[in-house]
Amino acid sequence: MGMPPLELAEQVAATPWQRLGGCLIVPGMWTAECLTCGQRETVEGGPADFTATPAPDRTVARAITGYAARCREQLDQTTTSVVSHAGLWLLLASAAERATGDDRASLEEILGMSLDEASAAGRRLLAQPHPTLAAAAGAWAAADAVTPVGVERPIPDQASLDAWAAEYTRGLIDRFPLEVTELTRIVLATALVLEPRWTERLVADGAWLRLTGGLQTIVETRAAGLVVVAKPHSQDGIDVISVRAHPRTKPAQVWQAVDEVVALLDDGGLWHAERPGGLQANGFGWRVRTTSVQMTEGERSRLPTDVMGRPQQWRSRVPAWAAQEMLDLTDAPGVAEVAAVILPEEPDAVTSCVQTVRAEYDAYGFRAAALTALDRVGSMPPQLKQVEVERVDLDFRAPHAVVAVARGGAWEGVPLVSAWIGGANHGDSDVEALELLADTDPEEAAGLRGYKEQQMRNRGELPSV
């Protein structure tokens, strides 16, 4: 008989996202099938070909999923075109560890785990490389700001923060979402970027794209009833899952159904080319019909089959789309508590939390980036004091030399480029005299300015009017 060895069957059974199938008559004709995507691999040999993989720890994933659901409900985000709750969760988790008292208890409930665990999880997510996902975090504070959070000082200027945004979102976002001023006391930011590519390009189908492989299925959910699901194959460690429910289903219920679908996928309970028994031939998002299609025997052998052994050809029409948002997340769960933690001695400082996020879905893959920033801005400008100083002004408005010198390694000390900056020598001209006079007697300087400017024009030091 063609039964696989008992040890082999036990090993596959211990891995919930795999199943074993084959022929009971002909030995050696068994295949291992991934339940999440339908990909199959022919099994040759004994049980050593199978290794039961321990289920991954999804504690953080569940915490962020719960946080996303809370945000959608509290911020009315069920139809927001695009948002990254993971980016906001990561920002909060990176600073929440120092919270105490009621704020600490509240943040633990909001973030879905103890703050020590959340902080450790945040550091782990930032430190561990991923094939196509990159994450970064930044924290900056004014020189005199008191904060328990590890920061760089001082706060960079706007151009530098824009450059930081572009670098850590691979150019998808080129502007920092918050504007910094001299009143800004502290800034926290996280950046996420992901660019998975489909294993097979989606085919243009009029105004739509057609998915012929990947994972396509119809699932019965508790929250939304029947939903249709499509997920192109990606080799980059990112699943991009599209879920459609009946048009009369409320968006909040659709998102609950999405969570159910993802949980099924995680647990190996979502199978390609599966649909509930007794399903009608036509529904809100599907149509089943029998047709004749020309294909090779190899193509035929790769098609999934129903319980009667009939080949099935699943196709999904999906849109190419792009979305971009700038979201005010100041009222998001946990923001006020973290704001109090990061600047404890300035309770009157104003808090802002903003996210710039964009995503694109096309025939080649999926691209998305999110930059989340939180700042606290002082309500009063810094107090200025009158201080007597000895001012030293250096003047290079005369011919001078410039040299660029290498530092470090074998090039240490080498003068790389030298330049001579020519031009008029203003050091002994009336330009300097006017400036010195303006410092000591502004009124007299104003009276003499016209006369001296005319003299300078006569000498060619100023252009003629």
Please determine, for residue 386, whether its predicted confidence score (pLDDT) is greater than 80: yes
Domains in the chain: boundaries: 6-49, 59-197+321-377, 400-458
Average pLDDT, the chain: 83
For the chain, the three-class secondary structure string (H helix, E strand, C coil) is CCCCCHHHHHHHHCCCCEEEECCCCCCCCEEEEECCCCCEEEECCCHHHCCCCCCCCCHHHHHHHHHHHHHHHHHCCCCCCCCCHHHHHHHHHHHHHHCCHHHHHHHHHHHCCCHHHHHHHHHHHHHCCCCCEEEEEEEEECCCCCCCCCCECCCCCHHHHHHHHHHHCCCCCCCCCCCCCCCEEEEEEEEEEECCEECCCCEEECCEEEECCCEEEEEEECCCEEEEEEECCECCCCCCCEEEECCCCCHHHHHHHHHHHHHHHHCCCCCCCCCCCCCCCEECCEECCCCCCCCCHHHHHCCCECCCCCECCCCEEECCEEEEEEEECCCCCCHHHHHHHHCCCCCCCEEEEEEEEEEEECCCEEEEEEEEEEEEECCCCCCCCCCCCCCCCCCCCCCEEEEEECCCHHHCCCEEEEEEECCCCCCCCHHHHHHHHHHHCHHHHHHHHHHHHHHHHHCCCCCCC
Whether pLDDT at 108 is above 80? yes
For domain 59-197+321-377, give its CATH number from 3.30.360.10, 3.40.50.850, 3.30.497.10, 3.50.50.60. Answer: 3.30.497.10
454 pLDDT exceeds 70?
Answer: yes
Question: What is the model's pTM?
Answer: 0.76
Provide mean pLDDT across the span 352-359: 96
Across the range 407-433, mean pLDDT stands at 54
The reported pLDDT for the residue numbered 5 is: 56
> Best-predicted range by mean pLDDT among 295-299, 381-385, 455-459?
295-299
* pLDDT over 90 percentage in the chain: 60
- Give 91's pLDDT tier (boundaries 50, 70, 90): very high
Which has the higher per-residue pLDDT, 268 or 189? 189
